[in-house]
Chain A
Amino acid sequence: MRRLFPVLLVLCMALFAYAPFLILNAPYESTMGLVQKIFYFHVSTAITMFVSAFTCGIASAIFLFGRRPAADRVGFAAAELTVLLGLVVLISGPLWARKAWGLWWQWDARLTSTLVMWLVFQAYLLLRRFGGPGSEKLAAAVGLFGAALVPFVYWSVNMWRTVHPTTNVVPTLDASMRGPFLWCVAAFLCLYVLLLAARTELEKRRARLDELYLALED
Chain B
Amino acid sequence: MTFLSTATLVARKDLLVEARSREVIYTSLLFAISCMLVFAFGLVKEGRVIADAAGAILWITIAFAGTLALSRIFDRERQNETLRALLLAPTPRAAIYVGKFAGVLGLLLLVEGIVVPLVVLMFDAQLFRHTGWMLGLLLAGSAGYAAVGTLFAAMLARSRSRGALLPVLLYPITVPVIIGGVRGTAALLQPEADLVLARAWLMMLIAFDAVFITLSLWTFEPAMTE
Interface positions of A (Cβ within 8 A of B):
64-65, 67, 112-113, 116, 119-120, 122-123, 126-127, 130-132, 134-135, 137-138, 140-142, 144-146, 148-149, 152
Contact = CB atoms under 8 A, between A and B. Distances in A.
B161 A123 contact: no
Given A132-B160, A145-B173, 13 more contacts: A67-B222, A119-B175, A120-B173, A123-B173, A126-B168, A131-B161, A134-B226, A138-B155, A140-B223, A142-B152, A142-B173, A144-B215, A152-B176
A116 B219 contact: no
Main secondary structure of the interface of A (DSSP, over half): helix
A111 B52 CA distance: 21
Contacts of A146: 173
Interface string B187-202: 0000000000000000
B202 to A, nearest CB: 14
Contact of A64 (B148, B169, B219): B219
Nearest to A117: B172
B118 interface: no
A134 B164 CA distance: 17
The main secondary structure of chain B at its interface with chain A is helix
B152 A138 contact: yes
Given A132-B159, A141-B151, A123 B215 contact: no
Contact of B215 (A126, A138, A145): A145
B223 A130 contact: no
Interface centre among B158, B159, B211, B219 (most CB of A within 10 A): B219
